[in-house]
Structure 1
Amino acid sequence: MDGIAQTGAARLAARYGGDAPDVSAPANAVVDSILAHRSIRAFLPAPLADGVLETLVAAAQSAPTSSNQQAWSVVAVQDPARKARLAALSNDQRFIVQAPLFLCWIADLSRLDRLGAAHGRKLEGLEFLESYMVALVDAALAAQNAVVAAESLGLGTVYVGALRHHPEKVAEELGLPPNAFAVFGMSIGHPDPSVPSAVKPRLPQSLVLHHEQYAVAEEPARIAGYDARLGAFSQAVGMGRQDWTQRMLARVGTAAALSGRDRMREALAALGFKLR
């Protein structure tokens, strides 16, 4: 096994906490970088180099998009005061202010709506849930391309779902038109090496990879094994021993656990989405 393959095997083992598939996995620099992904929540104050933002957006625009609709936009926020206000709306996560760049990814049907208006057309198809789903998926695909590009440049990233805590206030802060929704934020910057981070083990492939048909027969035992690995990981990185089952039951066990996001349908209607 050559050096690249050895690195790939090590990355695969780290990604699953030692429960990696027993295969001779192909590897290259791109795969190695993806498998090494970790969320970064501590950044140096150093600014990004010229052209990095535009390169990340170009990478994002290289992602697949349904029917070439390109139903997404991104708002780049670098002003400290605006970052602070968005941080306050996102559970006061301080790294939003700390990172030099905060990207707000937008599920954006407004551009198509304006296109229809410019041509005297009411685009009825934009009023259906399917169109919102297309915009949501397009934004997510684009954002993940940007993450891969940023990490290949030695930068750190972290998604911020808490941007959805207050959709209307975020839309006002970003000046969004109707039919545009801030799906999530993303902090990007140079990782602070004094704050350690680690690759978090994921569910074993046996739980997410199904062959031919969906199967759940061995799910309880496999979840129990993952609980043990994630609990040990959490304890090792100073987060206390909390397993996946405990986290998930707490995270989606009650409406209150959604931190205001249980009113998402109401918020989307207020932002102009019909969702028929």
Structure 2
Amino acid sequence: MNETIEFLKNRRSYRDFDENYVLPNEELQAIVDAARQAPSWMNGQFYSIIVVKDNVIREQLVKWNPGNPQILKSSVFLIFVGDLYRTKMVSKAHESPYLIDESIEPIILATTDAALALENAVIAAESLGLGSVVVGSIRKHGKEISQLLELPEHTFPLFGLSIGKPTVAMEVKPRLPEKAVVHYDKFQLYNYSLIEEYNETMEIFGEARETKQWSQKFSDYFAAEPVMITDQLLEMQGLLKK
């Protein structure tokens, strides 16, 4: 097995960082450059990256996300934004209509491009001996964050990334059984026992922050009344029709 694949298979999330560690500018630049080189549909690059160094801004983000204190304690916090404002500028320059709210497709494009850039940043950071953790909970305060960061119309914050020097070693988290995820040629139905097997695997792994079985956690999540925060943000930003 080559070193790159071994490196990818051993990726893990870190939430405890050395608060005194200063990330060199050249390493931050290397991470951002790697993120920007990620694959993108038609080379559209439908995202922006907000590099948040200002502690006042980060403190406010932690107030909204108290379960993620690493937003402030890491060396830097990146916010990946779905960006369809840039193509609004393009449409205006070409004097063409911009039917951005006629379909969910542009939102999927922007989300996918941002996610690919995020993963490149994760891998680049780890290759430099750093640690990182993705913060998806920023979407719960997407409207407030959009105002805080002065995001223009047709943009929406998707996820954050804390990067820094880890202070606590983490184990590689087990993934679902391969047969529940990987299919050849056609989707293959599988027995629910694979999910029960994964429940047991995660219980043995014993991650302290998990208080429920894997299956119970997502059964509860999707049984709850949907919170329409993201829908409201997309409407506010002119990406969904009201």
Q: TM-score over 0.5 for the alignment?
A: yes
**Whole-Å separation in 2 of the counterparts to 1:51 and 1:122:** 41
Q: Deviations over 1:39-93 (max 9, x none)?
A: 1101002010121222111111211100111111000001111111112222442
Structure 1 gap segments, 5+ residues each: 1-26
Alpha-carbon contact 2:156-2:233 (below 8 Å) kept: no
Partner of 1:165: 140
Larger radius of gyration: 1
Post-superposition shift, 1:240?
6.4
1:107-126 alignment to 2 at 5 Å? 107-124=82-99
Partner of 2:18: 44
Alpha-carbon contact 1:230-1:242 (below 8 Å) kept: no
Aligned: 1:180 with 2:162: no
Partner of 2:219: 249
Question: TM-score normalized by structure 2?
Answer: 0.93
Q: Deviations over 1:18-52 (max 9, x none)?
A: xxxxxxxxx22211111111111010020101212
Alpha-carbon contact 1:113-1:123 (below 8 Å) kept: yes
Distance 1:126 1:172, change over 3 A: same
Q: Which amino acid aligns with 2:190?
A: A
Post-superposition shift, 1:125?
5.1
Alpha-carbon contact 1:73-1:105 (below 8 Å) kept: yes
Secondary structure at 1:51 match in 2: helix
Alpha-carbon contact 1:90-1:164 (below 8 Å) kept: no
Q: Percent identity among equivalent residues?
A: 32
**Whole-Å separation in 2 of the counterparts to 1:144 and 1:223:** 26
Partner of 1:231: 203
Post-superposition shift, 1:175?
1.0
Distance 1:91 1:253, change over 3 A: farther
Post-superposition shift, 1:271?
1.6
Q: Which amino acid aligns with 2:10?
A: A
1:250-265 alignment to 2 at 5 Å? 250-255=220-225, 261-265=227-231
1:123-138 alignment to 2 at 5 Å? 123-124=98-99, 127-138=102-113
Q: Work out the number of aligned pairs and report it.
A: 241
Alpha-carbon contact 1:71-1:135 (below 8 Å) kept: yes
Aligned: 1:268 with 2:234: yes
**Whole-Å separation in 1 of the counterparts to 2:5 and 2:152:** 38
Partner of 2:28: 53
Question: TM-score normalized by structure 1?
Answer: 0.82
Distance 1:205 1:166, change over 3 A: same
Structure 1 runs (4+) greater than 4 angstroms displaced: none
Q: Which amino acid aligns with 1:245?
A: S
Q: Which amino acid aligns with 1:93?
A: N
Post-superposition shift, 1:149?
0.7
Structure 1 stretch displaced more, 65-74 or 29-38: 29-38
1:35-114 alignment to 2 at 5 Å? 35-45=9-19, 46-114=21-89
**Whole-Å separation in 1 of the counterparts to 2:114 and 2:102:** 18
Partner of 1:209: 182
**Whole-Å separation in 1 of the counterparts to 2:210 and 2:13:** 18
Aligned: 1:28 with 2:18: no
Secondary structure at 1:145 match in 2: helix
Aligned: 1:221 with 2:193: yes
**Whole-Å separation in 2 of the counterparts to 1:148 and 1:240:** 25
